[in-house]
Amino acid sequence: MSATIVQSTTESITLQITIPLSPSFLDTEETIQSVLNEAGTLVSGEALKQFDTDGSAIAMGGMNWTSKGQLPKTYQTPYGTVEVHRHVYQTSAGGSTFCPLEVDARIILTSTPRLAKQISHKYAEMSSVRVVEDLRENHGRVVHRSFVQTLAEAVGEIALLKEEDWHYQTPKLALEVATVSLGVDGTCLMVCQDGFRQAMVGTLSLYDAQGERLHTTYVAAAPEAGRQPFLDRMRREIEHIKRLYPNAHYQGLADGASENWTFS
């Protein structure tokens, strides 16, 4: 092993790394990446343990949860896979289990937060096949295509759940906002299991006195989300804009559907 842990405390981890050199500098660079990934995997494993409990019973949801012991599980990190023994809890009634380490460390499926962020970013720009290739060639990480797809889907579901509580930040503008234009539209799309559903989009555009656009906030909802969640988010964004620019002129831009004209 080229990387070893010299010291590990609750505040820091000290490593010793040995990197063999090669007559080919490209081979040396490949070795550097491999050893650094090995080091990252070691540190990740030790760091994850900091999020585990000491095995004491936990009171949660009006029930008493006790540890079944430190059970092993393999996690995916940006540097490689790491097996960690962590406490898994269950009530005396059996059923579902609870792992404090995974909750506190923000594990998504079996992925650490950083790897989930990397894969989600890449998957938004390229296909799953390209993501797998990119991770292998540029990061020295080998993952399956199904893992990329499943993880990205899980991140997307989390984002959709959080979106109900989010609103978009409006930047500070150098010029005065004279007009706010509110745009709403929708279209029917065929969803395999649900039939036709409506996908919605909305815009909140800010203009100066000369009619030059200063900023636009975009709001949208996939057909699976339904029309009402979109309308609720759109109303929240409009209320936010009206608090910022109460004296601006507001105008609506939409087709003839009567419900589109309730915003302005």
Question: Which pLDDT does position 206 carry in this prediction?
Answer: 95
Enter the pTM of the model. 0.69
**Residues 181-192: what's their mean pLDDT?**
80
pLDDT tens for each residue of 108-121 = 999 999 999 999 99
**Closest to 173 measured CA to CA, from 216, 224, 120:** 216
Of 186-190, 238-242, 256-260, the poorest mean pLDDT is in 256-260
Give φ, ψ of 31 to 5 degrees: -65, -40
Task: Assign 263 a pLDDT band (cuts: 50, 70, 90).
Answer: low
- pLDDT above 70: residue 63: yes
Dump strand ranges (E) for 61-115. Answer: 63-76, 81-90
Question: Which pLDDT does position 225 carry in this prediction?
Answer: 62
> How many helices (H) and strands (E) would you count in the chain?
6, 9
Give φ, ψ of 105 to 5 degrees: -90, 0
Cβ contact 204:237 at 8 Å: yes
Question: Which pLDDT does position 255 carry in this prediction?
Answer: 78
3 state SS of 84:
strand
**Residues 65-93: what's their mean pLDDT?**
96
* Cα atoms in the 13 Å half-sphere on the side-chain side of 96: 3
- pLDDT above 60: residue 248: yes
Residue with tokens 């993880």: 151
pLDDT tens for each residue of 129-167 = 999 999 999 999 999 999 999 999 999 888 766 665 565
Q: Which two tokens stand for residue 144?
A: 């399956």
Q: Which two tokens stand for residue 59?
A: 């009171």
Alpha carbons 82 and 149: distance in angstroms, whole number: 21
pLDDT tens for each residue of 5-55 = 999 998 899 999 999 999 999 999 999 999 999 999 999 999 999 999 999
